[in-house]
Amino acid sequence: VAQIQSRTLRQIHAPVEMRGRVDAALRGMSQVTTLIGALSAGFLATAYGTRASLWLAAGVLIVAAPVVWVMFTRVVAEPMDDT
């Protein structure tokens, strides 16, 4: 469901001639962050143990979720420019 909402927002807000570039940039950033997350999780699990790594991930998600929520509600609430 999140992918559908994300793609809809991109199609609404990105100019038609830029949609391919925007999609490619976001896909590239997603793949890079997945790689960084996997490497970080492996390092943390090796250094501190699996349980500590999972607690840290849970803490990050609890902090990040409201921040992302506020960011996306501002994007959706902004009026569109139909020029």
6-64 pLDDT, tens digit per residue, is: 888 888 888 889 989 998 998 899 999 999 999 999 999 999 999 999 999 999 999 99
Q: How far apart are CA 10 and CA 20, in angstroms?
A: 10
pLDDT band at 73 (very low <50, low <70, confident <90, very high): confident
pLDDT of residue 71: 84
DSSP for residue 79: P
pTM over 0.85: no
Question: Residue 7 contacts by C-beta under 8 Å, 6 or more apart in sequence?
Answer: 23
pLDDT band at 82 (very low <50, low <70, confident <90, very high): low
For 30, the enclosing helix (H) or strand (E) is helix 19-48
